[in-house]
A and B are shown apart, each in its own frame.
Chain A
Amino acid sequence: MTEMYVLRVNGEEHAVADAWLGESLLFVLRERLGFAGAKSGCEQGECGSCSVLVDGTLVCACLVLSAAAVGTEITTVEGLQPKERGEVSDVQRAFVETGAVQCGFCTPGLIMAVHALLDREPAPDDLAVREAISGNLCRCTGYGRILEAVDVAASARRGAGA
């Protein structure tokens, strides 16, 4: 069963044509619309590598039926940053500079999770950060540099707002 529908991704509308309606949002973003920043790590909502925002809420794109996301505002990692090549958000910059990136497969999902966290809670303590990113598995870093990156980004935001 196929049908044409429209997804709104990073502020722009994208038509999805001739697609099987059973496809996940993750599959459609990656394989049909070319938003490969969301990664497919487990396809059952355990690893968080595919984290995106749907109407501002952090979700695993692998668990969302693509056709059910019609009419929502979807934000992927590609929509976080300025469009200019090489430009990055504060969280992205902190990840690079603190050594929070190794293989990088979990990184886009973690970037989304940390943006979602800092947007709702500008000054999270250590356990709050750990809880907020506990749905994003990382196998390389042991999370130490990631926690450091979150701290750096949060401190910089507080400094900028003071």
Chain B
Amino acid sequence: MSVDVDTRVAGGIGQRAIRPDGIAKVRGEFSFAGDLWADGMLWGQALRSPHPSARIRSIDIGPALAITGVHAVLTADDVPLNRYGLEHRDQPVLADDIVRYTGEPVAVVAAEHPDTARRACAAIVVDYEILDPVVDPERSVDAPLLHPEGNVFRDLVIRRGDPDTRGPVVVEGTYEIGMQDQAFMGPEAGLASPADDGGVDLVVSTQWLHNDRDQVAECLGMPPELVRLTLGGVGGAFGAREDVSLHIHACLLAVRTGRPVKIVYSRAESFLGHVHRHPARIWMRHSAQPDGEIVSFESRILLDGGAYRSSSYHVTANAACFAAGPYRVPNAYVHATAVRTNNPPCGAMRGFGVVQSCFAHEGQMDRLADACGIDPVELRLRNALAPGDELLTGQRIEGALPVAEVIRACAALPLPAPAPDDVLARPGGAGRTADVGDVRRGVGFAVGFKNLMYAEGYMDGSVARCRIDAGVVTISCAAAEVGQGFVTLVQQIARTVLGVEDVIVAPADTAIASAGSTSASRQTMMSGGAVEKACRAARAELEARARGGAGDDHLDVAALTADSPVDVTDEYHHRLTHPLDADGQGDAHVSFACAAHRAVVDVDPELGLVRVVHLATAQDVGRVLNPLQVTGQIEGGIAQGVGLAVMEELIVEDGRVRNASFTDYLIPTALDAPTVEATLIEEAEPGAPFGAKGVGEPPTISSTPAIVAAIRAASGAACTRVPVRPRDIVR
């Protein structure tokens, strides 16, 4: 079902509703997890391995315990079950005999002052036998086992049609994607408090309370009901808060000391303490007819998963399933592998495997356009997927997927004016000013698409509760608000369904059932769907109390709930999906969204400096539920795509991160971010609540290749690697 803008009640579906937490956030009163405080609180701190691969011969915690103000020092021996992991438990809470990456936690300390905790960590004596690290993913498969479970997280092959068929025009290339970091602004933080019933209460910044709860309970050896999680204010996430970070450490310390324990990561620790986007090396070969129609597609994808599995298994599937982009491909062979190394663990980041593939396939599409002598936009239109077509996996596209429409709409947007005559507007800015006469402007185009929701047979769902007491509407749902605006959407849905303006969004916690993860662009559909169902059930009860009276819009909600509250809980599930078979074929994905991006850049080819001037985009959004928030997701997602294109890379040398700070890991500032012109393509998604699609990921996927295409156009350089460095441009 789809609805137009609801104007019966202020702040309903389709309106520019403002965030319920907005006032508190601008006043500095909103409580982030790092702002938590409790009487008698201790500070926790982890000691992390300085080596990418080593055997621990011994740990002497005595010198740390001797420091005044230190209350506990824990090692692997203190962890009841020393294994955790987002999808698969292959990671020790504290290293037992082996450390497998630089930054792996070895011990944790609780002390009265954070500096005391840091000094105590420095006083712990660990005797390491240093081993040779495996840091080249190309060598991992044949290297000695880095973990009892082996060195390959997933090896996936997709075969479609006859991959040996060849068209007369052939282009091939190899592309590399560096390690990007989510770099959210609010570092990991949490406060664990021991409870009177022997359990533990944890307030933490996360994307998925219930998955965390299960891992904490397992590792503490407690039944899940004794571990209660509440969402602390989250300062951005972008995938990095799917995996457990400090959760188990804080709970172990709280249980041991009998006091509340707060852990807040420094920025440096944050860079070491969460997963990153998988670096990738991708080879592709396309063949086509002279008119540009794609005949065959081959690809070899290698992802560096780092030391532990995290979500590498499903990142591999996404990289492979969407490797060809939103184009019709009758014959294909794709081989994707994610391997274990002694590099930092990699996992979820906005775009989840598709960012890497899209950079490669869009580079290929430009090469194919060049080889065929066809305009790059026209080539993409000729091959554009549409509903009824099949993916590489043989899955037929059932829902909305307006690929040709986003391409046409994006290409039609006006180009920006020439740069103003101001040093701040030149490549390199005021500090490294390019010579005006050397600056070349380039335009590039790219298209991407991605699945929404989890895949490959995962039984996904979300639960929400609607309680109306004396006219006061309260919605409960465990979906993690990480900044994206789900809390606004909850109010909009409830207002539209119930016709009531004031809606309270209860804090997210584990007292209600799971809402699943805030990831995979899934909460608008999954938890939005659960909230809608709960509100509709509540409305049905209200209508029954009004004796089925007609004139639904005039229910007196306060009077109908004056004597006894309406209180309903409901759940939402999407249709079933299925695993991929041995040929990588199967109905594995729920729904898709696409976007097109056109970038305009100014480049000084002599200095290798780039300024990203303008991004035009058309995005497939299903239906717009909140124009303010959709715009915010698009502009913010594009900024992260800009970062990957021209500046963001975690530099890992010999297994060590060399730039774990905002001084050396650069993210776009207001001077780096382009002006964005967005147009929204609305085709309601069948079966989705209000016809809406998740909108968070597509902006991050094809913005990067569009920018790199523009740099190629301006400079003539090949630029087969992101981020593009000055030396990739200067020849």
Q: Which residues of A are at the interface with B, using a C-beta cutoff of 8 A? A: 20, 22, 30-31, 35-44, 46-47, 49, 76-78, 81, 86, 88, 92-93, 95-99, 101-108, 111, 127, 129-131, 133-147
- Contact partner of A127 (CB less than 8 A), chosen from B28, B234, B422, is B422
Q: Assuming A40-B34, A105-B186, is B26 touching A137 (CB within 8 A)?
A: no
B410-453 interface mask toward A, CB cutoff 8 Å, 1 = contact, 0 = none?
00000000001010110000000000000000000000000000
Which residues of A lie under 8 Å from residue B113 when comparing CB positions? 20
Bound complex: CA A97 to CA B238 (Å) = 24
Bound complex: CA A36 to CA B31 (Å) = 8
B23 contacts A by Cβ under 8 Å: yes
Shortest Cβ gap from A95 to chain B (Å): 5
Which residues of B lie under 8 Å from residue A133 when comparing CB positions? 670
Is A96 within 8 A of B32, CB to CB? no
- Contact partner of B676 (CB less than 8 A), chosen from A22, A98, A142, is A142
Q: Assuming A102-B485, A105-B185, A127-B424, is B28 touching A38 (CB within 8 A)?
A: yes
Chain B CB within 10 Å — which of A93, A134, A135, A140 has the most?
A: A140
Given contacts A37-B27, A104-B25, 16 further A-B contacts (CB under 8 A): A30-B35, A36-B28, A96-B25, A99-B631, A103-B236, A104-B22, A104-B233, A104-B483, A107-B25, A107-B28, A111-B26, A139-B236, A140-B185, A141-B636, A141-B639, A142-B637
B663 contacts A by Cβ under 8 Å: yes
Is B420 within 8 A of A37, CB to CB? no
- Contact partner of B671 (CB less than 8 A), chosen from A81, A97, A130, A138, is A130
Shortest Cβ gap from A109 to chain B (Å): 9
Q: Assuming A105-B185, A131-B424, is B23 touching A96 (CB within 8 A)?
A: yes
Which residues of A lie under 8 Å from residue B296 when comparing CB positions? none
Which residues of B lie under 8 Å from residue A40 when comparing CB positions? 34, 187, 264
Bound complex: CA A97 to CA B667 (Å) = 26
Which residues of A lie under 8 Å from residue B635 when comparing CB positions? 141-145
- Contact partner of A46 (CB less than 8 A), chosen from B34, B37, B484, B663, is B663
Shortest Cβ gap from B189 to chain A (Å): 9
Shortest Cβ gap from A133 to chain B (Å): 5
- Contact partner of A77 (CB less than 8 A), chosen from B27, B420, B628, B640, is B27
Is B186 within 8 A of A140, CB to CB? no
Residue of A nearest to B665 (CB): A46
Bound complex: CA A105 to CA B267 (Å) = 14
Q: Assuming A20-B115, A99-B629, A101-B22, is B671 touching A41 (CB within 8 A)?
A: no
Which residues of B lie under 8 Å from residue A30 when comparing CB positions? 35
- Contact partner of B25 (CB less than 8 A), chosen from A22, A38, A101, A134, is A101
Residue of B nearest to A130 (CB): B670
Which residues of A lie under 8 Å from residue B267 when comparing CB positions? 41-44, 47
Is B18 within 8 A of A36, CB to CB? no
Shortest Cβ gap from B30 to chain A (Å): 6
- Contact partner of B662 (CB less than 8 A), chosen from A22, A44, A88, is A44
Residue of B nearest to A99 (CB): B628
Shortest Cβ gap from B117 to chain A (Å): 13
B164-188 interface mask toward A, CB cutoff 8 Å, 1 = contact, 0 = none?
0000000000000000001111110
